[in-house]
Structure 1
Amino acid sequence: MIELQHDQSGDLLPLELQRLRQRAVHHRSRHRQRSRPFATIVAFVRTSLDLQQRLNRLPSRYLFHAVIALFLPVALLLGQLPLRPVKPIPVQPTAAPVAPDGDVPLIMLGPINLDQTRTGEVVGDPPLSADESLPVPLTILSRSEINAPLIVPATVTADVAKVRNGPGLAYDDIARLNGGTTIEVVGRHNEWLQFRTTDDPTLRWIAAELVDLPEAIFYNLKPVDESTIPPPPPPKVAIVREDGLNLRDGPGTNYVSMKRLTAGEELNLVEQYNGWFLIETGGIYGWVTSEFLNIAPGVIERVPVASSIPDPNPPLVGSVLENSVNLRKGPGSAYERIGSINAGADVKLLARHKDWYRVELSNGTRAWIYSELLGVTPMAARRVPYTNDIPPLPNRARLANSGPVNIPASGDVASYAVQFVGYRYVWGGASPRTGFDCSGLTWYVYRQFGVNLPRTAASQFNSRYGAVIGNLNNLAPGDLMFFANTGGGRGITHVAIYIGGGQMVHAMTPAYGVQISSIWGAYWTSRFVGAIRPYR
């Protein structure tokens, strides 16, 4: 029994110790739970400081992007909210104040009602009229249409403009455009324009000089790519096959021959008509038959057909070019003057002899006129018959030679002219400094006496500048003597000043210069056509 009642404190000690430990753990756990928020705050503060330092090290653009990313969702949410309509504030009409008796009523300006919806009208502007003139907007056009070249309307200024199949004279002439025609210019190359017309979309070429197009627009045109321009075709030429080929003034044997061509000559083909070609050689135009020409294949098809041909029988008429033109009995100034005729009169051409025409006036009078005073077309001139049936020259008494050359001259003009003997001859010269030609000497001498003469010998031989002297017996010092067909020329080609005693002073040749000659030498008498005593 004693063993059952022994002290049990030893057994209770471990139990109490365990309870104390549990209580300590419990109190420690409660303490940790209470102090955890403060520890979280401290950790957050430490983390925030570290984050701030890290943010400071980041570029500023990252922060800007972050702000935008934060505000973008907010903006999208706000954009989904429905709008609340704003109720308009009713405007009460203001009654016009009543003016005092006897005064003009006052008109008060109030707010103007611009809201037309209340009256049933539509507020805004009407749409554009959807017709063909309204251009298509660029946003609907394709890229190729947007990049299309500039198209400019222009007008042909030439009376008739040639249209070619390439930018240059080496290309073929394929059409004609009349003056005033409107074209659409789409490009340029050098001084040529590529164009089309409203009725023909084919792209062709015309010289820019023949079109009314401002310079600023010309340089804004799109240049045509050279790779798209075809090379010029072979030249339109022909080679003469045989000697003696007639060059005629029309397409047929009934036309007059102007010259004969030699074998091997190269001819430029201009036009064609019924087996004949209008050609150009050495600046001369005429017609030749194709039978005696060598032409390369494919050339004939490119030569344009003539739209018109010359009349083989043109009217043989001429028009007088100046006033007071002398009418003479024969083909020369030595013949008697029977009248005069003024500029613009038409005369019938009957015959010709050297440089004179026999004409018939409207009143039936027949006379001779110097050819340089008549306007005659080449076609008519070639058809005027040549004649040697002319009246004989009148008898001209000749004075005997009075002696040597160094006799004194008489007359103020003649005396003045003699001082230039020995001066040099210069073609085109008209002063002592440069020298003289024949008409330059007479022009200069008479100019010193206040008489203005034309510059050439043929022009000085005119009755408007003085009285006509037809007989050598009637010459006086100072008279102008005229000679024809000298030095290989035709018509009036030389002039001299008569100084008396059967002598004249004149500018002769570069070898002789200005000299004095006898008027009775055979060379001069056979070429003398008349004299003029200038008006002073």
Structure 2
Amino acid sequence: METVGSESGEVQDAETENAEPLTEQNAETETQQQTQEGEPAVQAGVLAAEEEKSQNHWGYTNLGIAHVDNHLNIRQEPNENGKLVGKLPKDAACEILGIENGWAHITSGKVEGYCSTDYLYTGSEALRRGQEVASMIAIVNTQTLKVREEPNTDSVVITLIPQEEELEVVEVMDNGWVKFLLDDEEAYVSGEFVDVEERLEKAVTLTELLYGQGVSDVRVDLVQYAKQFVGNPYVWGGTSLTNGADCSGFTLSIYKKYNVSLPHHAASQAQMGTKVSMSEIQPGDLVFYAKNGNINHVAIYIGNGQVIHASSPKTGIKISSVNYRTPAWARRFL
């Protein structure tokens, strides 16, 4: 357990990073503080999310949802020859600005353009589909939040996650804690330090991936190659980029295309290549994560503070913040 620290003259909760080791003198302090980690704050967040959804439908006044198996193309002009400016993933949402001649003028995320109405849910169908596919997200609202194995402050801390990190919620528990999947394992955070809301996925631009200066073409190519497998399944022990892979099977198979041979074991991969600091990582570097000091997950850095990885059976291959867990270290192979 951790003590209650002080920040800006106010009491700082035991779930934040600056907490100190528990001593006899401060043991009672944390016990008292636990009563403040309960239900009201997170339940209020859930109610606020429900109220907002009912008023404006997840932030949209004229909702459209992509009715496709993969991605819906967004074009600069309302015709099939128009320049491609973005993609709307399956079940992602957009604001419909207008419809003419079978083309919808839409905005979604950072993308504005046109897409065929043949592949959009609109009106009541869009609202129904939105209710089916919306994800509940918890956004960290404190500087650093502890992730625990069990929903209480006596439980082991698995990792730390930074402010504004987004977690896909499995369950908001009656005791005020929030359950989510950390890779393929259940984990918990105190509901007092997250804002819970429902959300629909948005479009992505063709230039959304930022590589920075001095990034080789092979790194750019590797990232673009890896991204095409987003949404494919996670399979423990698998190495198939289409039918299913686990975390090290995914990195193994991506790197195989670039003539780099890796073992099918995250901890073994973590000892290969050249170690680089997190401040110097480039797209294509491997980022490793640990639990209780042991490497148990690997991802590929893709730039812009993001990684791509075979995450869990529930979410499959996905893109996450590089800090969705505290990175242990990174390795370079290119």
TM-score of the superposition, structure 2-length normalised?
Answer: 0.35
TM-score of the superposition, structure 1-length normalised?
Answer: 0.22
Quick one: higher RCO (CA 8 Å, sep 6+), 1 or 2?
A: 2
Q: Which has the larger radius of gyration?
A: 1
